[in-house]
Amino acid sequence: MTLSDAPPVAALPPEAGVEALASLLRGRRVVVLTGAGCSTESGIPDYRGPETRHKVRNPIQHREFLQRPEVRARYWARSLLGWPRFTSARPNDAHFALAALERSGVTPGLITQNVDGLHHAAGSERVLELHGALSRVRCLACQAQEPRASVQARMLGLNPDFAHTVVELRPDGDAELPPEAVADFRVPACTRCGGTLKPDVVFFGDNVAAPLVQDAFALLEEGDALLVVGSSLTVYSGFRFVTRAAERHVPIGILNLGESRGDSLADVRVEARAGDVLPRLVESLTRA
């Protein structure tokens, strides 16, 4: 039987889960892997949470963004509308608890699949952003970087009527918008060379940069336990760290609402909101 063939570990409720996670992690250096479920309590929706997994989502595909101007226009139009609400999000109790774990020396750092920057905002210092950060924009031609806020100002100048459109926020900081609404949308170009701009994130169909993956595996090696927070682990970019931990016989705890791809590999699995469990876990692990 392979690792993935094992039956899922039974999920524990919050009360029992805190104690079980504390027993599993106490006295160990805990590397943390976070996903979108860590930020839903900050108002940022996810793709596969209990409330969103059945919604039809059409995320931007990497190849289409590179090859089709109309896809780039659709992305930037949606992003212009979603950006104000995305940037108004603030860290929640889960983010602050993870920052406290780092300050206390329990965790050497964390790996995140999120692009919202909320771990940094909460005070975490060693954060490996697997999928990049929406706060940065990069030119595909000359590689020049520009703050996303600057691009927002330029887009508003080119498309002043868009600012008053009411939309639903999407997981990647953009918004729901019908295709016909972007027919005349004007996309800003690189201020240095006039090239195509892309948010400095990994779109669906793209790969995480190899050096970053190596850094993440190196961080995993520094720990002797892995805690997964708020991730379904559906995407391989995160799941590979769980399989590596399992191969090393490193204890694995999973805290997530709903099932995850790594449930059969976990030693402890807790089904609860991260903001409810993590502060109590930190208190237990850092108690003198």
Residues annotated as catalytic are 131
Which amino acid, residue 258? Answer: G
Can you tell me the distance from the alpha carbon of 104 to that of 172, in angstroms, rounded to the nearest whole number? 31
Determine whether the annotation assigns residue 38 to a binding site: no
Determine whether the annotation assigns residue 214 to a binding site: no
Query: Is 37:229 a contact under the CB 8 Å cutoff?
Result: yes
Torsions phi, psi of 133, nearest 5? Answer: -145, 130
Determine whether the annotation assigns residue 230 to a binding site: yes
Determine whether the annotation assigns residue 139 to a binding site: yes
Burial group, residue 160, by CB count within 10 angstroms (0-12, 13-18, 19+): exposed
Query: Is 265:252 a contact under the CB 8 Å cutoff?
Result: yes
Q: How far apart are the first and last CA of the chain?
A: 42
Which amino acid, residue 22? Answer: A
**Residue found by looking up tokens 């170009």 in the block:** 189
Determine whether the annotation assigns residue 42 to a binding site: no
Can you tell me the distance from the alpha carbon of 76 to that of 188, in angstroms, rounded to the nearest whole number? 9
Determine whether the annotation assigns residue 145 to a binding site: no
Determine whether the annotation assigns residue 206 to a binding site: no
HSE-CB for 285 with a 13 A CA cutoff? 28
Determine whether the annotation assigns residue 142 to a binding site: yes
Determine whether the annotation assigns residue 100 to a binding site: no
Which amino acid, residue 216? Answer: A
Which amino acid, residue 34? Answer: T
Determine whether the annotation assigns residue 177 to a binding site: no
Q: Which helix (H) or strand (E) holds 270?
A: strand 268-270
Determine whether the annotation assigns residue 257 to a binding site: yes
Q: Residue 95: which region, alpha, beta or left (left: phi > 0; alpha: psi -120 to 50)?
A: alpha
CA angle 243, 248, 254 (to 5 degrees): 50
Residues annotated as binding site for NAD(+)? 113-116, 230-232, 256-258, 274
Residues annotated as binding site? 113-116, 139, 142, 190, 193, 230-232, 256-258, 274
Residues annotated as binding site for Zn(2+)? 139, 142, 190, 193
